[in-house]
Structures are given as C-alpha cells and as structure tokens.
C-alpha cells in the first residue's frame, strides 16, 4: 500500500471539506439559490426552481428579494395543460398602481395604509376577473414572510406577496402565483391565475383563476445539504485517519 499517496488523498479530502464549510461561512446572509417551490390548487399544480437574488430596487419592502429566473413544470387539468415547461419569469415593468390611497377624511381605513412596492407590475388581460384590467405581479420573494404591501388589504405572510411572481410558459402563456397571506380561518393560502395567448395583441385570456385555497411550500435551502455533506466528509476523513493510524501501529 502506498501510505504517502493515501495520506495525500486524505489531506486533500480534508481541505476540500474545510473549503466548502469556509465558503458557506463567508457567504453573505441571503437565501441560497436555487429555491425549490411546489404549489397545488383545484386542478392546477406546479414545481419550479427559482433564482433568487438581492433586491436593489428602492421603494420595495424591507426584506424583499427578487426572483430573476425560474424553470420547472405546470399542469392544469381544468384547461387541459399537462407538464408544460416553466421557462422563466416575466420582466417587471414597474407599472403605475391601479388606484391610490384615499385621504383619511374622505375614506378612513381601519388599518394603517402602506405604499405599493416599487416593483409593482401588471400584465394586461382581455377578460379580467372582477373590475381589474390586468393581473399584477412584482416577482418579489420574502424569506421571512411577506409584509403588508396593499393599502386596502390587511393580510400578510407567505414567501410571496399578493402580487406574486409571473411565470412564463413554453406554450406562450403565463402563470401568476401569489400569497393571500394568513386569512382567518383558512390560515396561509396562495392563489394563481393562468393566462393563455389570444389572437388580440392587446392582452391575454385568463383561462383559469383561483383566488385562494392554493397550498405552496418551500423545501429547506440547498446550502443545508451542502453543509451536511461537508460535515460528513470531514467526519469520514477523521475516521479514515484513525483507522490508518491503528493499522500502522499493528504492522
């Protein structure tokens, strides 16, 4: 047995494990990417890997990060979509909000008003649900749960806010996934809207819409798995070193 070569290999494994742990320790305090999410509603479901980066947009809520890319699949049995590819996220267009905060003397609110996120964006649709003429999004992600981001909406919580992330689909459509916040008595729920291309270039057709009752989950960050692998590698190096020393003593 080439003891010198074996010692070199063991030392190399040690340095690799320590380097991986050092890299994790020196990394900035931001949520690791990619972030895996899954969601499931009445007929619609999907899974996506999100690229989440620091949000440098002034005027966005404190603690927000921005989703810059996504890939995965989406299915909706209500409209006959099966495992269509999620190809990315729609770029934010920083649109003007649909409405403004009323003055306290004209229409007092039962809760303090909050400003819209600067990343507030919207996608025009031809058959809007309710009175809106667009589906809104901001592509923001909240590691510690979203704050209130609507002046007339009291709920908060979830890794998205009520505007959500707008996924692009391989078939030319879009899926908006948002958080309703913690709504009593249902707890934390999400919603989604599916927009498919229409012959009219002025907008898209809302093909499916579920305001609430969608469940979504974010698994543990990938860096925890890397950290665990590094620790296991360090443990294996120590164990193999002790075994080799014992073998040398008995020779």
Assigned token pair, 68? 């810059």
The β-bridge partners of 52 are 67
Q: Using pLDDT thresholds of 50, 70 and 90, give the confidence band for residue 132.
A: confident
Alpha carbons 209 and 188: distance in angstroms, whole number: 18
Assigned token pair, 79? 């409209």
What value does the mean pLDDT take over residues 25-48? 78
Assigned token pair, 162? 């009520």
pLDDT at residue 110 tops 90: no
Assigned token pair, 235? 């443990």
Sign of the torsion formed by the C-alpha atoms of 64, 69, 71 and 74: positive
Q: For 42-128, where are the alpha helices, taking DSSP H only?
A: none
What value does the mean pLDDT take over residues 217-222? 68
Q: What is the percent of the chain where pLDDT is above 70? A: 67
Q: Please write the tens of the pLDDT for every residue from 58-108.
A: 999 999 999 999 999 999 999 999 999 999 999 999 998 876 666 666 667
- Structure confidence at residue 22 (pLDDT): 47
pTM, two decimal places: 0.74
């Amino acid at each position: 047995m080439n003891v010198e070569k074996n010692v070199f290999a063991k030392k190399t494994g040690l340095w690799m494990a320590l380097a991986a742990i050092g890299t994790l320790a020196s990394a900035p305090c931001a949520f690791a990417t990619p972030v895996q999410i899954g969601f499931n509603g009445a007929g619609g479901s999907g899974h996506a890997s999100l690229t989440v980066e620091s949000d440098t947009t002034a005027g966005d809520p404190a603690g927000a990060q921005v989703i810059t890319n996504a890939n995965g699949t989406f299915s909706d049995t209500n409209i006959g979509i099966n495992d269509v590819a999620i190809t990315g996220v729609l770029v934010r267009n920083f649109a003007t909000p649909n409405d403004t905060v009323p003055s306290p003397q004209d229409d007092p609110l039962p809760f303090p008003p909050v400003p819209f996120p600067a990343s507030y964006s919207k996608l025009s649709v031809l058959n809007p649900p309710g009175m809106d003429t667009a589906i809104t999004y901001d592509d923001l992600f909240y590691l510690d749960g979203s704050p209130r981001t609507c002046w007339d909406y009291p709920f908060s919580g979830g890794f998205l806010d009520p505007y959500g992330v707008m996924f692009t689909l391989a078939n030319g459509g879009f899926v908006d996934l948002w958080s309703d916040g913690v709504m009593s008595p249902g707890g934390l729920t999400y919603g989604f809207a599916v927009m498919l291309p229409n012959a009219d270039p002025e907008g898209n057709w809302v093909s499916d819409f579920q305001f609430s009752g969608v469940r979504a989950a974010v698994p543990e960050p990938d860096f925890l798995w890397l950290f665990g692998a590094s620790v296991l590698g360090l443990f294996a190096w120590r164990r193999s070193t002790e075994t080799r020393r014992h073998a040398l003593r008995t020779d």
